[in-house]
Amino acid sequence: MSRTGHAELASTDNIGSLSRAGDLFQLLRDGKARTRAELALTTGLARSTVASRIDALIASGLVGPAGEATSSGGRPPSRFAFKPAARVVLAVDVGATHVIIAVTDLGGKILSERRLAQDVAEGPEAVLGRIITDATSLLAVTGRTSKDLAGVGIGLPGPVEHATGMPVKPPIMPGWDGFDVVRHVQGSFPVPVLVDNDVNIMALGERTAHWPEHDNFLFIKVATGIGAGIISSGQLQRGANGTAGDLGHVRVPRGDDVLCRCGNYGCLEALASGPAVARALAAQGVQAESGADVLSLVAGGNLQAIQALRQAGRDVGDVLATVVNLLNPSVIVVGGSLGQAGEHLMAGVREVVYRRSLPLATTHLRIGLSMAGGQAAVLGASQMVTQHVLSPAVIEASLQAAG
Protein backbone atom coordinates (compact mmCIF):
# COMPACT_ATOMS: atom_id res chain seq x y z
CA MET A 1 0.00 0.00 0.00
CA SER A 2 1.35 3.39 -0.96
CA ARG A 3 2.25 5.48 2.06
CA THR A 4 3.11 8.86 0.69
CA GLY A 5 2.40 11.30 -2.10
CA HIS A 6 1.77 14.95 -2.87
CA ALA A 7 -1.26 16.34 -4.66
CA GLU A 8 -0.20 18.97 -7.15
CA LEU A 9 -2.69 21.52 -8.44
CA ALA A 10 -2.67 21.83 -12.20
CA SER A 11 -0.82 24.87 -13.46
CA THR A 12 -1.69 26.96 -16.47
CA ASP A 13 1.40 25.52 -18.15
CA ASN A 14 0.11 21.96 -18.24
CA ILE A 15 -3.66 22.07 -17.93
CA GLY A 16 -4.01 21.43 -21.63
CA SER A 17 -2.48 17.99 -21.10
CA LEU A 18 -4.98 16.89 -18.44
CA SER A 19 -6.55 13.67 -19.64
CA ARG A 20 -7.32 11.66 -16.50
CA ALA A 21 -10.11 12.11 -13.99
CA GLY A 22 -7.47 12.33 -11.25
CA ASP A 23 -5.86 15.30 -12.99
CA LEU A 24 -9.17 17.00 -13.68
CA PHE A 25 -10.13 16.61 -10.03
CA GLN A 26 -7.21 18.82 -8.98
CA LEU A 27 -8.91 21.78 -10.65
CA LEU A 28 -11.96 21.25 -8.46
CA ARG A 29 -10.08 20.98 -5.17
CA ASP A 30 -10.25 24.73 -4.65
CA GLY A 31 -13.97 24.32 -3.93
CA LYS A 32 -15.08 26.58 -6.78
CA ALA A 33 -18.13 25.26 -8.63
CA ARG A 34 -17.73 24.87 -12.40
CA THR A 35 -19.79 23.65 -15.32
CA ARG A 36 -18.66 20.97 -17.74
CA ALA A 37 -18.27 23.66 -20.39
CA GLU A 38 -16.05 25.76 -18.12
CA LEU A 39 -13.86 22.75 -17.38
CA ALA A 40 -13.61 21.93 -21.06
CA LEU A 41 -12.57 25.51 -21.83
CA THR A 42 -9.99 25.52 -19.02
CA THR A 43 -8.44 22.16 -19.88
CA GLY A 44 -8.80 22.13 -23.64
CA LEU A 45 -10.45 18.71 -23.44
CA ALA A 46 -13.49 17.72 -25.46
CA ARG A 47 -16.80 18.18 -23.63
CA SER A 48 -17.53 14.47 -23.96
CA THR A 49 -14.20 13.67 -22.27
CA VAL A 50 -14.89 16.12 -19.47
CA ALA A 51 -18.39 14.71 -19.03
CA SER A 52 -17.10 11.15 -18.63
CA ARG A 53 -14.45 12.28 -16.12
CA ILE A 54 -17.01 14.23 -14.09
CA ASP A 55 -19.39 11.26 -14.10
CA ALA A 56 -16.62 9.06 -12.69
CA LEU A 57 -15.83 11.61 -9.97
CA ILE A 58 -19.50 11.95 -9.07
CA ALA A 59 -19.76 8.17 -8.78
CA SER A 60 -16.80 8.22 -6.36
CA GLY A 61 -18.62 10.74 -4.15
CA LEU A 62 -15.74 13.23 -4.29
CA VAL A 63 -17.60 15.60 -6.59
CA GLY A 64 -21.27 16.57 -6.50
CA PRO A 65 -23.81 18.99 -7.94
CA ALA A 66 -23.40 22.61 -6.80
CA GLY A 67 -26.35 24.44 -8.29
CA GLU A 68 -26.87 25.80 -11.76
CA ALA A 69 -25.10 28.46 -13.79
CA THR A 70 -26.90 31.38 -15.37
CA SER A 71 -28.56 30.32 -18.59
CA SER A 72 -28.02 32.18 -21.83
CA GLY A 73 -31.06 30.43 -23.22
CA GLY A 74 -32.49 26.98 -22.66
CA ARG A 75 -31.85 24.75 -19.69
CA PRO A 76 -29.31 26.19 -17.18
CA PRO A 77 -26.07 24.17 -17.11
CA SER A 78 -25.25 22.31 -13.90
CA ARG A 79 -22.23 23.20 -11.81
CA PHE A 80 -20.05 20.70 -9.97
CA ALA A 81 -17.71 21.06 -7.00
CA PHE A 82 -15.47 19.12 -4.66
CA LYS A 83 -17.29 17.58 -1.67
CA PRO A 84 -14.88 17.67 1.32
CA ALA A 85 -17.42 15.83 3.48
CA ALA A 86 -17.36 12.79 1.18
CA ARG A 87 -14.78 11.05 3.36
CA VAL A 88 -13.01 11.73 6.65
CA VAL A 89 -9.45 11.57 7.93
CA LEU A 90 -8.16 10.49 11.32
CA ALA A 91 -5.42 12.92 12.37
CA VAL A 92 -3.31 12.01 15.40
CA ASP A 93 -0.71 14.01 17.32
CA VAL A 94 1.36 11.90 19.71
CA GLY A 95 3.42 13.97 22.13
CA ALA A 96 5.70 13.02 25.01
CA THR A 97 2.82 13.04 27.50
CA HIS A 98 -0.30 13.59 25.39
CA VAL A 99 -2.28 12.36 22.42
CA ILE A 100 -4.66 14.48 20.34
CA ILE A 101 -7.04 12.68 17.99
CA ALA A 102 -9.15 14.57 15.47
CA VAL A 103 -11.62 13.63 12.76
CA THR A 104 -11.40 16.02 9.80
CA ASP A 105 -13.07 16.24 6.43
CA LEU A 106 -11.03 16.17 3.21
CA GLY A 107 -10.67 19.94 3.34
CA GLY A 108 -8.94 19.80 6.73
CA LYS A 109 -11.92 21.06 8.75
CA ILE A 110 -11.88 19.56 12.25
CA LEU A 111 -15.20 17.85 12.90
CA SER A 112 -14.41 16.44 16.32
CA GLU A 113 -11.38 16.30 18.60
CA ARG A 114 -10.26 14.49 21.73
CA ARG A 115 -7.22 15.18 23.95
CA LEU A 116 -5.78 12.45 26.15
CA ALA A 117 -3.10 12.29 28.82
CA GLN A 118 -0.82 9.52 27.58
CA ASP A 119 2.88 8.84 28.16
CA VAL A 120 4.58 7.82 24.92
CA ALA A 121 7.12 5.86 27.01
CA GLU A 122 4.43 3.24 27.71
CA GLY A 123 5.28 1.78 24.32
CA PRO A 124 3.68 1.45 20.89
CA GLU A 125 1.14 -1.27 21.66
CA ALA A 126 -0.33 0.63 24.60
CA VAL A 127 -0.33 4.04 22.92
CA LEU A 128 -1.59 2.88 19.53
CA GLY A 129 -4.16 0.62 21.17
CA ARG A 130 -5.63 3.57 23.01
CA ILE A 131 -5.55 5.67 19.85
CA ILE A 132 -7.45 3.01 17.90
CA THR A 133 -10.08 2.64 20.64
CA ASP A 134 -10.64 6.37 21.08
CA ALA A 135 -10.53 7.04 17.33
CA THR A 136 -13.29 4.49 16.77
CA SER A 137 -15.35 6.20 19.45
CA LEU A 138 -14.65 9.63 17.97
CA LEU A 139 -15.76 8.49 14.53
CA ALA A 140 -19.06 7.37 16.05
CA VAL A 141 -19.49 10.78 17.68
CA THR A 142 -19.28 12.41 14.24
CA GLY A 143 -21.74 9.90 12.80
CA ARG A 144 -19.05 8.11 10.78
CA THR A 145 -17.51 4.64 10.74
CA SER A 146 -14.21 3.20 9.58
CA LYS A 147 -15.83 2.69 6.15
CA ASP A 148 -15.85 6.47 5.73
CA LEU A 149 -12.11 6.77 6.36
CA ALA A 150 -9.88 8.04 3.57
CA GLY A 151 -6.72 7.58 5.63
CA VAL A 152 -4.92 8.03 8.94
CA GLY A 153 -2.13 10.54 9.62
CA ILE A 154 0.07 10.25 12.71
CA GLY A 155 2.77 12.54 14.10
CA LEU A 156 5.34 11.08 16.50
CA PRO A 157 7.76 12.94 18.82
CA GLY A 158 10.93 11.51 17.34
CA PRO A 159 12.74 10.70 14.07
CA VAL A 160 10.60 8.76 11.59
CA GLU A 161 11.55 7.02 8.35
CA HIS A 162 8.69 8.53 6.38
CA ALA A 163 8.71 5.93 3.60
CA THR A 164 7.94 3.12 6.09
CA GLY A 165 6.43 5.04 9.00
CA MET A 166 8.87 3.42 11.40
CA PRO A 167 10.43 5.41 14.28
CA VAL A 168 14.23 5.42 14.16
CA LYS A 169 16.02 5.42 17.52
CA PRO A 170 13.67 7.99 19.11
CA PRO A 171 15.27 9.22 22.34
CA ILE A 172 12.08 9.62 24.41
CA MET A 173 10.16 6.65 22.97
CA PRO A 174 11.42 3.38 24.51
CA GLY A 175 10.19 0.33 22.62
CA TRP A 176 9.27 2.27 19.47
CA ASP A 177 12.52 1.88 17.50
CA GLY A 178 11.72 0.04 14.26
CA PHE A 179 8.10 -0.62 15.27
CA ASP A 180 5.80 -0.99 12.26
CA VAL A 181 3.24 1.67 13.16
CA VAL A 182 1.57 1.50 9.74
CA ARG A 183 0.95 -2.24 9.84
CA HIS A 184 -0.29 -2.10 13.42
CA VAL A 185 -2.85 0.63 12.71
CA GLN A 186 -3.93 -0.93 9.43
CA GLY A 187 -4.93 -4.01 11.41
CA SER A 188 -7.88 -1.94 12.64
CA PHE A 189 -8.19 0.67 9.90
CA PRO A 190 -7.34 -0.88 6.48
CA VAL A 191 -6.67 2.47 4.77
CA PRO A 192 -3.51 4.42 3.88
CA VAL A 193 -1.63 5.26 7.09
CA LEU A 194 1.06 7.93 6.95
CA VAL A 195 3.47 8.65 9.79
CA ASP A 196 5.94 11.49 10.23
CA ASN A 197 7.83 13.46 12.82
CA ASP A 198 5.48 15.72 14.79
CA VAL A 199 7.34 18.93 13.90
CA ASN A 200 7.06 18.18 10.19
CA ILE A 201 3.30 17.84 10.38
CA MET A 202 3.07 20.96 12.57
CA ALA A 203 4.83 22.84 9.79
CA LEU A 204 2.35 21.49 7.25
CA GLY A 205 -0.62 22.36 9.45
CA GLU A 206 0.52 25.87 10.36
CA ARG A 207 1.48 26.82 6.83
CA THR A 208 -1.68 25.39 5.23
CA ALA A 209 -3.99 27.09 7.71
CA HIS A 210 -2.30 30.48 8.08
CA TRP A 211 0.61 31.03 5.67
CA PRO A 212 -0.31 29.34 2.36
CA GLU A 213 1.25 32.12 0.28
CA HIS A 214 4.72 31.50 1.77
CA ASP A 215 6.76 28.77 0.04
CA ASN A 216 9.84 29.10 2.28
CA PHE A 217 8.66 28.51 5.81
CA LEU A 218 10.08 27.24 9.11
CA PHE A 219 8.13 25.93 12.08
CA ILE A 220 10.10 25.70 15.32
CA LYS A 221 8.74 23.58 18.16
CA VAL A 222 10.09 24.44 21.61
CA ALA A 223 8.76 22.01 24.21
CA THR A 224 10.17 18.86 25.87
CA GLY A 225 12.34 18.69 22.77
CA ILE A 226 13.27 21.21 20.08
CA GLY A 227 12.92 20.68 16.36
CA ALA A 228 12.11 22.36 13.07
CA GLY A 229 9.80 21.61 10.18
CA ILE A 230 11.31 22.94 6.95
CA ILE A 231 9.23 23.87 3.91
CA SER A 232 11.36 25.01 1.00
CA SER A 233 9.96 25.97 -2.42
CA GLY A 234 6.58 24.76 -1.20
CA GLN A 235 7.75 21.24 -0.32
CA LEU A 236 8.35 19.70 3.09
CA GLN A 237 12.02 18.76 3.42
CA ARG A 238 12.68 15.54 5.32
CA GLY A 239 16.28 14.93 4.31
CA ALA A 240 17.92 11.66 3.30
CA ASN A 241 16.84 9.72 6.40
CA GLY A 242 14.01 11.83 7.79
CA THR A 243 16.12 13.76 10.31
CA ALA A 244 16.13 17.18 8.62
CA GLY A 245 15.29 19.93 11.10
CA ASP A 246 16.71 18.32 14.24
CA LEU A 247 17.77 21.63 15.77
CA GLY A 248 17.68 20.28 19.30
CA HIS A 249 21.10 18.69 18.92
CA VAL A 250 22.91 21.60 17.29
CA ARG A 251 25.67 22.90 19.56
CA VAL A 252 25.21 26.23 21.35
CA PRO A 253 28.50 27.93 22.33
CA ARG A 254 27.54 28.76 25.92
CA GLY A 255 26.68 25.14 26.71
CA ASP A 256 30.13 23.55 26.62
CA ASP A 257 29.69 22.00 30.07
CA VAL A 258 26.00 21.02 29.72
CA LEU A 259 25.44 17.32 29.03
CA CYS A 260 22.56 16.42 26.71
CA ARG A 261 20.61 13.15 26.85
CA CYS A 262 22.09 12.31 23.41
CA GLY A 263 25.53 12.05 25.06
CA ASN A 264 26.99 15.24 23.59
CA TYR A 265 27.64 18.53 25.35
CA GLY A 266 26.14 21.89 24.54
CA CYS A 267 23.04 20.82 22.59
CA LEU A 268 20.30 23.44 22.18
CA GLU A 269 17.77 21.06 23.75
CA ALA A 270 19.91 20.75 26.88
CA LEU A 271 19.73 24.52 27.37
CA ALA A 272 16.44 25.80 25.94
CA SER A 273 13.82 23.04 26.17
CA GLY A 274 11.10 23.13 28.83
CA PRO A 275 12.86 20.66 31.16
CA ALA A 276 16.21 22.45 30.64
CA VAL A 277 14.77 25.84 31.61
CA ALA A 278 13.13 24.24 34.65
CA ARG A 279 16.48 22.75 35.73
CA ALA A 280 18.18 26.12 35.34
CA LEU A 281 15.54 27.73 37.57
CA ALA A 282 15.77 24.95 40.14
CA ALA A 283 19.53 25.56 40.33
CA GLN A 284 18.68 29.15 41.29
CA GLY A 285 16.40 27.96 44.08
CA VAL A 286 13.15 28.45 42.14
CA GLN A 287 10.74 25.52 42.44
CA ALA A 288 10.35 24.18 38.91
CA GLU A 289 10.39 20.63 37.56
CA SER A 290 8.88 20.91 34.09
CA GLY A 291 8.08 23.23 31.24
CA ALA A 292 4.56 23.57 32.61
CA ASP A 293 6.03 24.88 35.88
CA VAL A 294 8.06 27.43 33.91
CA LEU A 295 4.93 28.66 32.14
CA SER A 296 3.10 28.99 35.45
CA LEU A 297 5.94 31.00 36.93
CA VAL A 298 6.07 33.28 33.89
CA ALA A 299 2.31 33.78 34.00
CA GLY A 300 2.69 34.75 37.66
CA GLY A 301 5.30 37.39 36.82
CA ASN A 302 8.32 35.57 38.30
CA LEU A 303 11.28 37.64 37.11
CA GLN A 304 13.79 34.77 37.21
CA ALA A 305 11.51 32.60 35.06
CA ILE A 306 10.97 35.44 32.58
CA GLN A 307 14.73 36.01 32.32
CA ALA A 308 15.39 32.27 31.93
CA LEU A 309 12.80 32.02 29.15
CA ARG A 310 14.25 35.00 27.34
CA GLN A 311 17.69 33.39 27.52
CA ALA A 312 16.17 30.20 26.06
CA GLY A 313 14.90 32.38 23.22
CA ARG A 314 18.39 33.77 22.66
CA ASP A 315 19.80 30.24 22.52
CA VAL A 316 17.16 29.22 19.96
CA GLY A 317 17.91 32.42 18.04
CA ASP A 318 21.61 31.60 18.04
CA VAL A 319 20.90 28.43 16.07
CA LEU A 320 18.18 30.00 13.91
CA ALA A 321 20.52 32.77 12.76
CA THR A 322 22.60 30.15 10.98
CA VAL A 323 19.48 28.48 9.59
CA VAL A 324 18.21 31.81 8.23
CA ASN A 325 21.51 32.43 6.43
CA LEU A 326 21.43 28.90 5.02
CA LEU A 327 17.76 28.53 3.98
CA ASN A 328 16.50 32.13 3.66
CA PRO A 329 12.91 31.56 4.84
CA SER A 330 10.32 34.33 4.60
CA VAL A 331 8.50 33.22 7.76
CA ILE A 332 9.58 31.55 11.01
CA VAL A 333 6.80 30.42 13.32
CA VAL A 334 7.53 29.34 16.90
CA GLY A 335 5.18 26.86 18.55
CA GLY A 336 5.22 24.09 21.13
CA SER A 337 4.43 24.42 24.82
CA LEU A 338 7.08 27.03 25.59
CA GLY A 339 5.84 29.05 22.64
CA GLN A 340 2.67 29.62 24.69
CA ALA A 341 4.72 31.98 26.86
CA GLY A 342 4.51 34.38 23.94
CA GLU A 343 6.69 37.42 23.69
CA HIS A 344 9.20 36.51 26.40
CA LEU A 345 10.59 33.64 24.33
CA MET A 346 10.10 35.50 21.05
CA ALA A 347 11.98 38.57 22.30
CA GLY A 348 15.11 36.48 22.77
CA VAL A 349 14.70 34.75 19.39
CA ARG A 350 14.25 38.00 17.49
CA GLU A 351 17.08 39.74 19.35
CA VAL A 352 19.67 37.25 18.13
CA VAL A 353 18.28 36.34 14.69
CA TYR A 354 18.07 39.93 13.51
CA ARG A 355 21.51 40.73 14.95
CA ARG A 356 23.36 37.66 13.68
CA SER A 357 21.74 36.93 10.30
CA LEU A 358 22.72 38.61 7.04
CA PRO A 359 20.76 41.84 6.40
CA LEU A 360 19.46 40.64 3.02
CA ALA A 361 18.13 37.42 4.59
CA THR A 362 16.14 39.36 7.20
CA THR A 363 14.88 42.23 5.04
CA HIS A 364 11.41 40.71 4.72
CA LEU A 365 11.69 37.98 7.35
CA ARG A 366 8.70 37.59 9.69
CA ILE A 367 9.10 35.82 13.04
CA GLY A 368 5.93 35.10 14.96
CA LEU A 369 4.07 32.77 17.27
CA SER A 370 1.98 29.84 16.09
CA MET A 371 -1.59 30.78 15.23
CA ALA A 372 -2.74 27.17 14.93
CA GLY A 373 -1.52 26.49 18.47
CA GLY A 374 -2.36 23.04 19.79
CA GLN A 375 -4.14 22.12 16.55
CA ALA A 376 -1.11 22.56 14.28
CA ALA A 377 -0.14 18.89 14.40
CA VAL A 378 -3.59 17.41 13.72
CA LEU A 379 -4.15 19.93 10.91
CA GLY A 380 -0.83 18.85 9.43
CA ALA A 381 -1.58 15.15 9.86
CA SER A 382 -4.83 15.66 7.98
CA GLN A 383 -3.03 17.61 5.25
CA MET A 384 -0.40 14.87 4.93
CA VAL A 385 -3.13 12.30 4.27
CA THR A 386 -5.12 14.40 1.82
CA GLN A 387 -1.99 15.28 -0.15
CA HIS A 388 -1.66 11.55 -0.72
CA VAL A 389 -5.21 10.25 -1.12
CA LEU A 390 -6.35 13.15 -3.31
CA SER A 391 -3.28 13.13 -5.55
CA PRO A 392 -3.91 12.56 -9.27
CA ALA A 393 -2.35 9.09 -9.31
CA VAL A 394 -4.24 7.80 -6.26
CA ILE A 395 -7.58 9.26 -7.43
CA GLU A 396 -7.07 7.68 -10.86
CA ALA A 397 -6.14 4.30 -9.38
CA SER A 398 -9.20 4.39 -7.10
CA LEU A 399 -11.54 5.18 -9.97
CA GLN A 400 -10.07 2.43 -12.12
CA ALA A 401 -10.38 -0.07 -9.27
CA ALA A 402 -14.05 0.92 -8.92
CA GLY A 403 -14.58 0.36 -12.62
Return the H-helix or E-strand segment holding 137: helix 124-141
Tell me the C-alpha distance between 152 and 95, whole Å: 17
Per-residue confidence band for 185, with pLDDT thresholds at 50, 70 and 90: very high
Kindly report the number of other CB atoms within 10 A of residue 6's CB atom. 11
- For the segment 274-303, what is each residue's pLDDT rounded down to a tens digit? 999 999 999 999 999 999 999 999 999 999
pLDDT for the residue 9:
35
- For the segment 42-88, what is each residue's pLDDT rounded down to a tens digit? 888 898 999 999 999 999 999 999 877 665 555 678 899 999 999 99
Fold identical between 87-198+377-388 and 203-376? yes
Residue-range domain boundaries for the chain: 15-82, 87-198+377-388, 203-376
Kindly report the number of other CB atoms within 10 A of residue 110's CB atom. 14
Question: What is the SS3 assignment for 250-302?
Answer: CECHHHCCCECCCCCECEHHHHHCHHHHHHHHHHCCCCCCCHHHHHHHHHCCC
Per-residue confidence band for 5, with pLDDT thresholds at 50, 70 and 90: very low
- For the segment 8-34, what is each residue's pLDDT rounded down to a tens digit? 333 333 443 445 888 899 999 988 999
Domain 15-82 has CATH 1.10.10.10: yes
> Is residue 182 over pLDDT 80?
yes
Tell me the C-alpha distance between 350 and 196, whole Å: 29
pLDDT for the residue 278:
96
Q: What mean pLDDT is reported for the chain?
A: 90
Return the H-helix or E-strand segment holding 142: none
- For the segment 124-170, what is each residue's pLDDT rounded down to a tens digit? 999 999 999 999 999 999 999 999 999 999 999 989 998 899 999 88
CATH classification code of 203-376: 3.30.420.40
CATH class of 87-198+377-388: alpha beta
